[in-house]
Structures are given as structure tokens and as C-alpha cells.
Structure 1
């Protein structure tokens, strides 16, 4: 029997107060822990092996129109996905109904990127039915691992920003917070990466080509999004000044919903992605006149908006399309949010009590202007009332310290695409600068820096400034990052509104990146300290005594070895290269960028290679250096860095003098799916970005949670990781952020460092001499010139310290008992880096939302 059970007393989410000024209240993690224990998840489906087999056969017939003798592996993957999806959707329906009944205060997460990763394995894990599914498919002559391998990854993000958003949705659901994630359903995601002749080649990511079983389209719920045109001002019947936007064209936004399950709870939330469609797909008038191409022209032009993730924004057309993408998903999302609000309320002053909207970086910052347009133009509110509502709804997360990465738009372009919004931003700016002048009278420099418009060169709209002005809360994503925000790029805003600023250090979900990616390690931890650590990572501290247990260290080492064996097999399959799992796996996987300094890693490899050729370093452990990551298609130096890695690999891997003591691997097409094999296999995690440049990083957390030791600078979340695990369990090197700034201020000359270090000169000489480029001395000249003449990211300044620190790594690895003890302590002390902790802090300090448990009756579940 199926019905809806109310949550236990005291857990109903109530909107606090009549406006967004909600009283501060305690938000201990115990609230979440208690809910999970009191409300075990369940569903009306029979999760027995026989039932899953029957459901799988039925889905094969009804959804794939296949019988077993002709069904492909992909047919079985899709059929199993629909079996699991039915169970997931059942939880979502109960969740949605519960949230509707209680008018729950809801988090809206706006992000232009979501790197969700494959869904089948994660949903099986969160449903607690892994054992039954494994047995069911095995009895049908199938392998669950083979079925999982069939899934195409939705590449709907460029890297850390999108992966963080995915982790946060996982934690919002697990912590039982009513929430929507809103984004874009890109038809083609981030490119697939191939390596040909050592160079990166971009290949279209056709992730939808075989279908996506996890999404539910809602074509009946579409929103019109307008672009271009002009505005007309006038007065309404009551004599109030009003502006009407007369657009040049419009498109329709159609939602596709993907449910996101919580772990160990009955809750699910929704990721709603928008696809652009033409108002009319076919122009019959044009067709009848014989103009066949014009008949479908509107459809093609409209759908271009969500065709591809972030086009190259160098040419004018690319920049315009990116702006249209951002406005498109923001306009659809806010329209949908207001639709939901008006289901239960009509007083827009209460909108901040119902919703809090988190801007994930500046990509959705135009939402501030769009909300004002909706309130003033569409709903007839006066400016001050609309502004109070707007600033009560939004909060802003900054993700960068690089000034060039703070998004701006040419004013002429912005006005052509969004003429009404440009007018609104001008008015916001006028009123804001009057406020600044009241606090800091006569400070023209401050007014210029804080203006929503940059006047240097071509006039541009500053989206970070707009987000700061339009939000009631601003946060950084690591302690160092937040401090530097206050001191540098957002210093003026912090001096005006210090109460707005807080730090929310990023986190990652242990469900995907430990339980799913590394089941051997997860099982060992569970056998030792119980299963609750997956919902409360502070309990990992219980592992600390095991670091002194010889038998446990041996088990730990064996788990790591098996992970390395699996990765070695994948490397052989992907690249044809054989690597030895008994060597030290030294791994750097992340976006390729100068500030992340993959070329510093390469310089050390070349130095080590040269020493071995000279008969030195013979007592150092054998190493396999593994790189992975994508370079932006237009980023010439980043693509050259990949070519340098592959060039070094070609030489080192085939040198008989080295005899396998060094292997260099570039693992192509790094993504979430591949990462789930890479993180567990790492012995050493390379986190070597220039101090003060990385906002946080989350790969550093994923590596450490899987038992890798870190070599890194005091940059981003490395600072907090080093503090948490202890400096004795962290290989620290390099200039600090303050030292980087001081070195620059003192007139840094990289050529002086080069002249003063013989090994550095030799390593760079081997590059410039053509050894790693087939004898072409000019291939890497741009990279060498950038290091010698500018070295923006202090590669040469940190070279000697890095090489010396790598020598310490080698000596430590030769003491396996000590190494594995350090590895255990790293995992034991990483509890604070769960995305559950991050989300709990957002809930407590910024969003002011409480858990709303969802009970789905008559269910059982195997999750402990």
C-alpha cells in the first residue's frame, strides 16, 4: 500500500519571518544525522533479485522492443537504467509532493555547468540495491561492470565548477534540503579529447546519440525567452512610468528533468536543464513559396543556443552566443521559479521566504537584472520594492582570483542582445554609486573600481560587480581564496559590506568518489569503523588507530595495489602502454593551464631523466607519471604543454638506458567516468598550482580521500588539507601567496633564476634543443619564451624547491609501512572536505533552510 507519511514533529520547514532577514539559528550536523536514522528510505518496488530480473526483461521488451537473443549490451544497459529510473522517480514524486504540501523553503542553484557523471552506478548505490542488481544481471548472463561501461557521460561542464555543482546536488538531496538545480541541456558537451601525433584533437561530444534514460522531458511547460530589439518608455493608466521591451526575436525553453537521489534517505531533488526550441519549427509560408531552407531556418537558429557547451568566445558570434546561453537559462529558470511560487502565494514580498537563489560564479549573474525586469515590467512593482525582493533572493559564490577570469561584456554587444537589461543595470549602477559616495565621499578611484561598468578601453559590463551588488551574501570557496578576495579583487565591496562575506570551503561527495569509485577501500573502512561514515565523514577519524596496525596497513596496501592494477589495465587499453603497478603512481589530472603548472611537473621529470642518464638517482623508486586533462581549444600554450608531455613520454618511455625506471603517460579524455578509476590508484597527488591562483580545487580532496599523499603548494584548499592531515603527512613546497606577491613587487626576473640553476638550464635546453619534438627546436619556443621573459606563474621560481620535495617523496615511498600509515591518516583526517559539510554551512549561514524528510512508505533498503 502506498501513501504519504508526514515527517516527524519538529522537522517541518517553516519560512522564517516576513522578509529575507531571517534570524540566525544553530545548524548542527546532528540534525541531518538524526533524520537519516529515524527515516530509513524505502519504496513500493520489490527489490528482490527475481523482481529486478523480471523488470529488466519487461523493460527490454517495452522500452527497447527487443528480445534477449537480439538485444545488444547497450539495450540491456538502457533497460536496466529504466528499471532503476522507475525506483528513482518514485522517490522524486514523494519528495515533490512533500515539498508542495509543506510549502518548503527551497534552494535554487543556478549554474551554467553540471558535470554529473554517469548515473546508473550512482543511483544503484543511493537506492541501496547494488547486491541485488549484480546478482540479477549475473543470472541473466551479464556483467554489471560491462553495463556500467556502456553509459555515455554528459559532458555539461568544463571542469571543477560543474563537478562541484554536481557534488552539491548530491549533498542537498542527502541532507534532505528542498532544492532545484537549473542549467543548460547542451546537445554537445565539452569535446572528447583524442591525442594524435602528440597533439590534442577535439572531437564532438555526442552524449545524446544513444539516448539519455535519466531525463524526463516536459514539452508542455515551455517559456518564451526574448532577445534583441528595442525598448519603449511611457506611462500606464495610473500615471506610473513603465518600459516595454519590443524584442527582435524569441525562442522557447523546454525543461528536461533529471532526478538526483539522496543517500540513505527518501529524498530526491531535480536538476532541470533547459533546451532552446523555435516557437514554430516549420514555416509553411516559406515552404509553399519554394524557400525550403528558410522553412526550417528559425528552428536551426533557435536551437543553436543550446547546441554546444561554451563556444569559443574569441569571435563576435561566439561571444554573443555565450551571452545568449547565459540569459536563456536564467530567464527560463526564474520564470519557472515564479510559476512555482504563484502556485501557493501571490504576495511577491514573500518570494525571499520561499526561495534563495545561489549564483554559481558570474555566468548566471544576469539573473539580478532579469529579476528586476520580471518584478518591475511584468508584475508592476516599484523600483525600491523590487530591489528589496531581488537582493533578498540572491547569493553569490565567487570562484576565481584571476582578474582576467572575472566575466565582463562589451556594452554594445550586451545592449544588442539585452537592451532592457542594460537599462536596468545602468539604473542599478546609478543608485549604487550614490550609496558608495555617501560612505566614501569624493573617492573617485573607488567609484571607478566599484562601478558596474568598466570605462578602460571599450566600455564593459562587470558581471562580478553586478552579482555583488545584487546579492545579500558573497562567499569564496577556500579560506585562502576568501581572504584574498577581501584583499584584492573584491576589496572595495568587502570594505562597504563586510557582513556579506563568508567562506564556504568546497567539498566533494564521498558517495561517488569513494563508495562508487573505490568499493574496495569503502568496504575496508566500513568493516573497520562501521557504515555511517558515508553520511558523516567526521567518523573517518576512527581510522587513526589503524595506522599503527600492521595487518590493517597490509590490507590497505593491497586495496591500493588492486586499484593500480585496474588503472594499469585501462592505460594499456587506452594508450597501448604497459605500466608497472608496483611503481609509484604520480598523478596530475586537471584542466591544462599555465597556473596549474603541468610544465613544472615536466621540468622535474626531465631533470630526473637526465640524472638517471648520468648514473645518478639510482636509489630513487621507479615512477609512473600520469597526466590527464583538457586544454581549451583556443589556448595555444596549454595545448603546447600537452604536446610537451607526450614528447617527453616518447623519449623517456623508449630509452633503453632508463629500463622502465620512469614511465610518462598522458591519459586522454579525462572526465568523471575516467576519474573514478584514476583517483583510487594514485600514490601521489600533484597539486602544484601557483600560490594565490587556485580558488579551491576539489581534485586535491578526491585524491586524498582515496589515500593518495599530496605534493603541493599552499594554494586554494591545499592550505586547509595540509592543516587537517598535518604537515608531516603532506609534501609542501614553494612560495606562499604573500611571497609570490612580494617577489613580483621586487621585480622578479625569471632569467636570473635560469642563469643561477644549472639543472634548470639543462632541462630547458633539452626542450629548446628539440629532443622532445623530433628535432624541431622551434616547436616549444613559445613556452620557453613565456617562462624566460615573464613566468607569470612562478614556475622557475618554484623549480628548485619542487625538485627537492620530489626527492623527499621518493625517500618516503621506499618505506612502505610509513607511507601507508601516512595514507591512512590522510583519509582519517579528511572529514571536513565532504560536500555535506559545505552544504550544511550554506544552509546555516546563507540559505537559512532546514531539512524536510521524505518518507516513502512500505519500503525496505539495504543501506546500513
Structure 2
């Protein structure tokens, strides 16, 4: 979410009045705004995407609610000690959150464990879930004001509290210690974002979080629906439920449970309603990354839901048999229940086979949450044109062939209100001045008007000054944070995102080592021709992701060598920004000259980071992956630096394995790391092994030569200020398509079928 103060006063249209009022009280608005901490409510691009979409929903007057968990500690605070990442709790709620409203009267019971009993009601058999544990979900509302409208929508977050009944019973019997233990166990559910799920306890907590979130949200939605409507036939006309990836896909089983067990609808009636209200967006590219829940864990924690999921799968397999016949291989791939070797009646998976147990394949039975979401949803969305092609041809090929009409794409977007108006006010004022209107803040398509001024010298001078001011802010932050003083004349070259092998921060670092090696071996005359660079890397590694942590350590080891080499001076600096978050991004993105997006082609579903840099006039150096393909369509190949294998080439290159040729420069820089030039020889051995010939899954070696050529092209463009300026202006001019306003309008019209509902003045 980031900070809320600046965004809120701008959206409400009261920034000047608010700043004046603060001034009369002796405070400066900018200083006060800096005191606000970031809300620790998400991690990475997907969480920030949701925040952008909420801003757009409010601004475009759509009647929408957002739901999530009120994490006590968020993800973690990244602390770097001797170049190694350490994780500490993020105590963001220590002093409260002034933006939230606690709704102590809005609480729901959320149940876990227990048994399922069958009871007779009016001559009919009904299932009754008798839980073994109950916790309370308490609502905290966070208003999201729209820009230029009175419409304000709500983000409702749930905090887990112990059941009052159980708590009271423990106190009444004098069991105070057990009462405290129960309280801690309940509150653990909403304590930490993404608990480490390598252990059984971690997996169980993750599943508890997911179910707690969907159960409380659906109970709230059904309650509000029933307050105004008495007939569930109206549900699809009044409620649209969107699954933003598979994390909330337990919603399908939960709403079936509510409609059947509590509202006593028939199975067929409930299923018909559910299939009309759900839509699904997947952000996953490869099938291996799709979420699965072990049956034994699900059966223990949510026994009634497992029964419902088996019934859904039974019915789907029956339908599939009619559509495709007895194609067992395809049915196995499409089944919601993934077959394993645990003794389980095979007719749960293939209902037309009678009796018997399957004891031959695998070692575990899982519920495939993506398959469940596709089966239940009326629309399945990719998040870029390239991503949809991947879903249709590879990830969900079987489902696409069955239901081609379900599949669509809506390219992700980011809100210009956060990423230009709030984070880059100087650029905002400049754009409004030269367009002669502020209407672009609500209609980003108007940014194309900047193309009319791309050759205007006066415009160039003002554009250059805006970039200089932003680079000064970033340089001051870097010096305060790391002690490294950087030159404003250097190219600020940035890669900030979650640390992961497929995002290839390692490729960037190896490229920096190559640049350093070249400079070291130049004579003084050649060094005068070198384009100075400040290389900035930031991002967090998951606590259990050892290779990502080694990449962070390598970055610091290389920086230690480069930044202290007097031969290099200001020609090259390397800085790692710790604890990268939204507020830091609002400093880094406006100050960047070049932004790197290096994912191996076919691994990034969309990529919203590139859109934020694009909106701020930063040039992109990127692979043809995710939304970059569409960015090229908007700004042209001449205005960014593309490199690397294309998505259709990747599989063939991987098949070549050890016969794949890599440049000599790659072998040299890898050898420098392997032989201990930057220290920690033994520690970096396993990291080097991952990119050796035959092991290089993400194709760093293959793409290295092309990467160096793209970097050389960036250097050549940077020393031509007029050319660079035009490329920067045209980047902003072509960024309007990547506003989240456009994304939300497409969802509203093509998926949710909703109209704006503007508040009367």
C-alpha cells in the first residue's frame, strides 16, 4: 500500500489547503508526510498491483470492496549485516494505524478442524460441520478515496482474535495459562505475511490464513447481500467475486458450504450460482508454480471443504467424460484432485472406474487450486497478451481447448496518481503545464499529447531539470543510507524487485563485473570515454531462498571491491538498497535513468515495475517478456533496449544443455567469482554452479553477449543528451495504456459486467 497521507489529500483535492493549514500550525507538509511508515500489507508487485487497482476502482466510481488480512508484522524488515540478509519483524502497527477504522461490531466466527456429521432435517440428510477450533475475525476498514470524485471505496482487513466463548470458559475454570496460549494461537493467523511453509506447521498456518481470509470475507458478503435481498437467484446480478490468483480459491468450497449447509440450497442450485459469480486472474506462468494443497492437510483442517471439493471434482470428471471420452491422460491433467500413491478410492478422481485403490503413482494427493478456479469461473484472465498465449498453448492448454470462450487477457497497469502525481510532483507539474490540463490524471491516454512537444528545446530544458532534481534526491538518500557518494553526471542504472533467479539479478551483477574488469584493463585515455554509471540494486529474498540470499551477498562483495578501488573512482559505483518498499520506490523510480527488467523470456506474466519506470521517463533495458511486448508496441523499438532469447526460443536452447555456447566474457567474469576475486570463494561456489554450461536453466550465459550489446547501446544513447531526452519523453507519452484505470475498465466491462455508480454531489 505504501504511505496514505499524500495519496489521500491529492485524491481528495485538498493538498494546497491541507499544506496551508499545517503551515499555520508550524509544520511542513513534505516533512510530515515523510514521517509516515509504510503499511506492511503485501509483498512485491502483486500486492502493489492490488493497491493500484483499488485506487482505480475508486476513481472510476465502481461499487467495489477489497478484502485482505491485517498483518501484525507484514513480511519482514530486511537488515543487511556484512552483506548478508537478515530478517526482522516489521513492527508497523506499534503506534497504531490512523487510516483504519476498527469495526468491533463486525466479527465472524471462523472454524477449523473437527468432524462432519450427518443429521436429519425435515426428512432430508444434511451435513453439519462440528469444528474443533473457532477464532473470531474482526474487521478493520481502510477507506480508499477516488481522485476527482466523492466516491470512496473500502478495503476491509481481518484480524484474528480468540473466540470470546472459549476465552471466557478458560478464565471461568481458572485456566489462565491455557487462555493466553489460545489467544496467541488465534492471533498467529494474522501475525505474519507468508509464513515459511517448508515445515508441516508452516503449511498449516499458510492454509489457515487463506481460509480465515476467505471465510470472513464471504460471510461478510453474504450478510450484506441478505440485508437487501431475500432471493439467492439475484446473487449473480448483485455480486461479482474475483479471485486474484489462487490464494483465495478456497472461496469456491466455502461459498458452496454456506449455500448448501447454512442456506439449505440444493447442490445444483448452489453450483449454478457459484459459477456465475466467480472470475479468476492467474499471475503464474509455469505449471510447476501453481498452488496445490495436500489432501491430508486439507482433510484435517477443513474436513467439510474436502468433501465438497471431491464432489465438485466428481461432477467435473463426469462432464469431462461426456466431452472428451475416456482420455485418462488428459482427464488426469485436468482433474482438480491430483492423483498420488496414498490409498484413495480411484473413483474420487476417475468416477467411471469402479472400486479399487491407486497405489502406483507419486507419493501424495493434492488439490490443484488453479484447476478448481478454472472449472468454477466464468472468465479466466491472463495479465498480458504474451501471458495469455502461454496459458493457452502451455499452462492451461487442456482447459483452453475445452472452454476457449473463458480465456481473456487484461494487461496489468499501475496508477499514475501514485507513480507520477505523488512520487514525482515536479514531473506532474511539467506534464500539466505542457498539456495545458490536469485531465491526464484521470485519463492517462492524454499523455500522448507530449509527443507534440518532443522537439521543443524549452521543454527539453525543463524536462532535464526535473530529472536532475530527482537524481539529487536519490543521491542524497544513497549517501545517507550507504555512505557512498555518487556523481549526478553518471547514468543511474536501476534494478529493483524481488530477488529471484528468474529475475536474473545475477546477470546484472555479472555485467557489472565485466564493466569493472574492462575499466581496470583500460589505459587513462580510454577511461575518459567511459560512460559513468551508478548501478543500484534492491529487493528482498524469501527467508528460505538460499540462492537469492547468495545473490544479495555477491552484490555486496562486488560493491565492496568496486567502490573502494581508487582506479575506478566515479566511473562505476554499485549500491544495494536495503528494505526496498513503496516509499523507497517513490524516491528511486523518479531518479532513475535506466531500468533493467531481465527475466528469462516466458517467466514474467506481466511486470508492473517497468510501467512505473516508463511513466517517469526512465528508459528500459529489457527482455521480450510479459508486458514489454506491448510497451514496444506503444513506444517503438527505437526507444528502449531489447536483448536476449525470445520466448519461442527458450525451450530449444535449454534442450541443447552442455552444447550451448556462451561468450568468453561470461566465462571470464564467472571465473573471477569462482576463484575468489571478490572473496567468499566457497560460499559462492554453488551459485556459480547454477549458471555453468548444462545447468544454466535461466540462460544467463546464452543471453550475456546480447545483454552487453544492449548495455553498449544504452551508453551510446546516454552520451547524446538530446536523443536520450526524446526517448525519455516518448516513454512517458506512450505509458497511458499501462494505467490501471484502463485495466479496471476492461475488467468492469468484459468480466464483472458492472457500471460506474457515481456518488451524487
Query: TM-score with structure 2 length normalisation?
Result: 0.95
Counterpart in the other structure of 2:83: 198
Question: Cα deviations across residues 594-619 of structure 1 (Å, max 9, x unaligned)?
Answer: 00000000111111110001107632
Q: Is the 8 A contact 1:282 1:296 kept in 2?
A: no
Structure 2 residue runs without a partner (length 5+): 340-361
Secondary structure in structure 2 of the residue aligned to 1:582: coil
Task: Say yes or no: does 1:763 pair with 2:669.
Answer: yes
Q: Displacement of 1:289 after TM fit? A: 6.2
- Select between 293-302 and 818-827 the one with higher mean Cα deviation: 293-302
- Select between 396-405 and 361-370 the one with higher mean Cα deviation: 396-405
d(CA) in 1 for partners of 2:497, 2:170: 49
Q: Is the 8 A contact 2:68 2:158 kept in 1?
A: yes
Counterpart in the other structure of 1:681: 591
d(CA) in 2 for partners of 1:806, 1:343: 60
Equivalent position to 2:401, from 495, 511, 531: 495
d(CA) in 2 for partners of 1:611, 1:649: 16
Task: Say yes or no: does 1:597 pair with 2:482.
Answer: no
Counterpart in the other structure of 1:363: 247
Q: Is the 8 A contact 2:620 2:641 kept in 1?
A: yes
Counterpart in the other structure of 1:735: 645
- Select between 697-706 and 192-201 the one with higher mean Cα deviation: 192-201
Matches within 5 A, 1:306-325: 306-325=190-209
d(CA) in 2 for partners of 1:740, 1:821: 33
Question: Cα deviations across residues 528-569 of structure 1 (Å, max 9, x unaligned)?
Answer: 101101111110010002111111111101101110000011
Task: Say yes or no: does 1:473 pair with 2:383.
Answer: no
Q: Displacement of 1:782 after TM fit? A: 1.1
Q: Is the 8 A contact 2:660 2:702 kept in 1?
A: no
Matches within 5 A, 1:643-722: 643-722=553-632
Counterpart in the other structure of 2:51: 166
d(CA) in 2 for partners of 1:385, 1:824: 55
Provide closer, same or farther for how the CA distance between residues 414 and 285 of structure 1 changes in structure 2, counting only shifts above 3 A. closer
Task: Say yes or no: does 1:799 pair with 2:708.
Answer: no
Q: Displacement of 1:291 after TM fit? A: 4.2
d(CA) in 1 for partners of 2:449, 2:470: 23
Q: Displacement of 1:283 after TM fit? A: 4.5
Counterpart in the other structure of 2:691: 787
Secondary structure in structure 2 of the residue aligned to 1:219: strand
Matches within 5 A, 1:546-625: 546-615=453-522, 618=527, 619-625=529-535
Secondary structure in structure 1 of the residue aligned to 2:661: helix
Q: Displacement of 1:411 after TM fit? A: 0.6
Equivalent position to 2:64, from 179, 184, 207: 179
Q: Displacement of 1:718 after TM fit? A: 0.8
Q: Is the 8 A contact 2:653 2:660 kept in 1?
A: no
Counterpart in the other structure of 2:353: none
Secondary structure in structure 1 of the residue aligned to 2:144: strand
Task: Say yes or no: does 1:539 pair with 2:449.
Answer: no
Counterpart in the other structure of 2:335: 451
Counterpart in the other structure of 1:378: 262
Q: Displacement of 1:433 after TM fit? A: 1.0
- Select between 655-664 and 280-289 the one with higher mean Cα deviation: 280-289
Question: Cα deviations across residues 439-483 of structure 1 (Å, max 9, x unaligned)?
Answer: 111211110000011124311111111111111110010110111
d(CA) in 2 for partners of 1:283, 1:839: 44
d(CA) in 1 for partners of 2:233, 2:738: 37
Q: Displacement of 1:288 after TM fit? A: 6.7
Counterpart in the other structure of 1:753: 661
Counterpart in the other structure of 1:122: 7
Structure of greater relative contact order (alpha carbons < 8 Å, 6+ residues apart): 1
Counterpart in the other structure of 2:16: 131
Counterpart in the other structure of 2:753: 848
Q: Is the 8 A contact 1:252 1:279 kept in 2?
A: yes
Q: Displacement of 1:286 after TM fit? A: 4.7
Secondary structure in structure 2 of the residue aligned to 1:222: strand
d(CA) in 1 for partners of 2:127, 2:511: 62
Secondary structure in structure 2 of the residue aligned to 1:395: strand
Q: Displacement of 1:282 after TM fit? A: 7.7
Provide closer, same or farther for how the CA distance between residues 688 and 284 of structure 1 changes in structure 2, counting only shifts above 3 A. closer
Matches within 5 A, 1:183-332: 183-237=68-122, 239-280=123-164, 283=167, 286-287=170-171, 291-332=175-216
d(CA) in 2 for partners of 1:417, 1:670: 35
Equivalent position to 1:408, from 249, 268, 292: 292
Q: Is the 8 A contact 1:732 1:805 kept in 2?
A: yes
Query: TM-score with structure 1 length normalisation?
Result: 0.84
Q: Is the 8 A contact 1:282 1:299 kept in 2?
A: no
Q: Is the 8 A contact 2:473 2:587 kept in 1?
A: yes
Q: Displacement of 1:207 after TM fit? A: 0.7
Q: Is the 8 A contact 1:537 1:832 kept in 2?
A: yes
Secondary structure in structure 2 of the residue aligned to 1:748: helix
Q: Displacement of 1:839 after TM fit? A: 0.2
Secondary structure in structure 2 of the residue aligned to 1:826: helix
d(CA) in 2 for partners of 1:122, 1:395: 29
d(CA) in 1 for partners of 2:379, 2:459: 46
Structure 1 residue runs without a partner (length 5+): 1-115, 857-864
Q: Displacement of 1:230 after TM fit? A: 1.1
Provide closer, same or farther for how the CA distance between residues 539 and 797 of structure 1 changes in structure 2, counting only shifts above 3 A. same
Task: Say yes or no: does 1:140 pair with 2:25.
Answer: yes
Counterpart in the other structure of 1:90: none
Q: Displacement of 1:136 after TM fit? A: 2.3
Q: Is the 8 A contact 1:281 1:299 kept in 2?
A: no
- Select between 824-833 and 571-580 the one with higher mean Cα deviation: 571-580
d(CA) in 2 for partners of 1:304, 1:748: 46
Counterpart in the other structure of 1:71: none
Q: Is the 8 A contact 1:592 1:598 kept in 2?
A: yes
Question: Cα deviations across residues 260-281 of structure 1 (Å, max 9, x unaligned)?
Answer: 0100111000000001111128
Q: Is the 8 A contact 1:280 1:298 kept in 2?
A: no
Equivalent position to 1:820, from 693, 711, 725: 725
Counterpart in the other structure of 1:23: none
Q: Is the 8 A contact 1:733 1:805 kept in 2?
A: yes
d(CA) in 1 for partners of 2:384, 2:269: 34
Task: Say yes or no: does 1:525 pair with 2:409.
Answer: no
d(CA) in 1 for partners of 2:108, 2:560: 53
d(CA) in 2 for partners of 1:396, 1:202: 33
Q: Is the 8 A contact 2:256 2:274 kept in 1?
A: yes
Q: Displacement of 1:139 after TM fit? A: 3.0
Q: Is the 8 A contact 1:369 1:425 kept in 2?
A: yes
Secondary structure in structure 1 of the residue aligned to 2:691: helix
Counterpart in the other structure of 1:777: 681
d(CA) in 2 for partners of 1:752, 1:347: 64
Counterpart in the other structure of 2:271: 387
d(CA) in 2 for partners of 1:289, 1:277: 20
Equivalent position to 2:744, from 815, 836, 839: 839
